[in-house]
């Protein structure tokens, strides 16, 4: 565990968590709660994670929120916690609240069609298993590929995207984002920071909050929580980040969750 923000006292944060009657723990999934897997449907949480989250959810006034680039349905099947925690999926394009009510942000028809056209092209190219279609988003995964092949494919996909825009006289209404192991095309404004800001507004100024994430896509969340709570980079190898604290999974992750539970029970 390494403190990255000299202006933050981790002891003061734990003290605030222990004394607060309003705690919110927000967590990414892939790379944070679960190791990356080539077979994405088999990316199960690290040993001990489900039990730790279940215990935290059982504590009064402790809100657990999963914020992920995956779809809500994907995460619900993988996390396998009953009842489910709150889940914000597809970079805040969809939400399953703590009462099981599902909401999905509307996507303009032309944007949805653009995402679908790009997906169909990748499907015909034989890349169905590497392609993830989500509400207003499309992700292409290069994990497991040779580096040169991955770079070539990413450039080819970008070129095809620009071709689709030009041929159909469409606006460039998607944002392109590289992530650890691929490229993603998203509806403008869809990012994890959007989910964090919404949760912070709902939680109120007195909430003791933290966000745990690993990827470049989590940087929007770290920036959103800055000076309002604790941003935690969960990653075995350090990288530049806006997070306040760096921990290495799985051992330090389990330690963090256990200490969160202990402080909340006080």
Nearest alpha carbon to residue 28 among 60, 81, 98, 75: 75
Q: Which of 107-116, 144-153, 230-239 has the lowest mean pLDDT?
A: 107-116
Between residues 50 and 171, the one the model is more confident about: 50
pLDDT tens-digit map of 130-141: 999 999 999 999
* Mean pLDDT for the stretch of residues 96-112: 92
The whole-angstrom separation of Cα 244 and Cα 196 is 16
- Tell me: pLDDT of 197 over 80: yes
Is the pLDDT score of 249 beyond 80? yes
Reduced to 3 states, what is the DSSP secondary structure of residue 176? strand
Q: How confident is residue 79, by pLDDT bands cut at 50, 70 and 90?
A: very high
pLDDT value at position 83? 93
Which candidate, 108, 79, 82, 81, places its Cα nearest to that of 93?
Answer: 108
| pLDDT tens track for 13-26 | 999 999 998 999 99
Task: Give SS3 for 194.
Answer: helix
Q: Which domains does the chain have, with CATH numbers?
A: 2-105+190-265 (3.40.50.1000), 110-187 (3.30.70)
Q: How confident is the model at residue 166 (pLDDT cuts 50, 70, 90)?
A: confident
- The per-residue pLDDT for 108 is 87
Examine the pLDDT at 233 and tell me if it is beyond 80. yes
C-alpha angle with apex 225: 223 to 231, nearest 5 degrees? 85
Average per-residue pLDDT in the chain?
94
How many whole angstroms separate alpha carbon 203 and alpha carbon 255?
25
Instruction: Tell me the pLDDT band of 180, cut-offs 50, 70 and 90.
Output: confident
Residue of higher predicted confidence among 172 and 37: 37
pLDDT reading at 171 higher than 90: no
């Amino acid at each position: 565990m390494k403190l990255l923000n000299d202006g933050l006292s981790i002891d003061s944060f734990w003290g605030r968590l222990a004394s607060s009657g309003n705690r919110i723990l927000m967590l990414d999934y892939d790379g944070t709660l679960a190791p990356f897997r080539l077979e994405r449907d088999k990316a199960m949480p690290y040993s001990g994670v489900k039990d730790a989250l279940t215990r935290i959810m059982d504590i009064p006034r402790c809100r657990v929120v999963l914020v992920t680039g995956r779809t809500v349905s994907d995460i619900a099947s993988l996390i396998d916690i009953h009842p489910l925690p709150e889940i914000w999926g597809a970079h805040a394009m969809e939400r399953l609240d703590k009462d099981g009510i599902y909401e999905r942000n509307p996507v303009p028809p032309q944007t949805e069609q653009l995402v679908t056209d790009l997906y169909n092209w990748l499907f015909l190219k034989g890349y169905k298993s590497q392609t993830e279609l989500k509400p207003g988003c499309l992700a292409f995964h290069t994990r497991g590929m040779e580096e040169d092949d991955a770079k070539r494919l990413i450039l080819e996909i970008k070129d095809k995207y620009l071709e689709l825009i030009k041929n159909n006289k469409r606006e460039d209404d998607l944002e392109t984002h590289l992530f650890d192991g691929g490229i993603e095309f998203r509806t403008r404004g869809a990012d994890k920071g959007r989910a964090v800001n919404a949760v912070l507004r709902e939680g109120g100024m007195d909430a003791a909050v933290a966000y745990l994430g690993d990827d470049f896509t989590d940087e929007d969340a770290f920036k959103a929580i800055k000076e309002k709570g604790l941003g935690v980079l969960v990653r075995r190898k350090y990288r530049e980040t806006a997070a306040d604290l760096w921990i290495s999974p799985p051992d330090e992750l389990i330690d963090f969750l256990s200490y969160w539970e202990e402080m909340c029970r006080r």
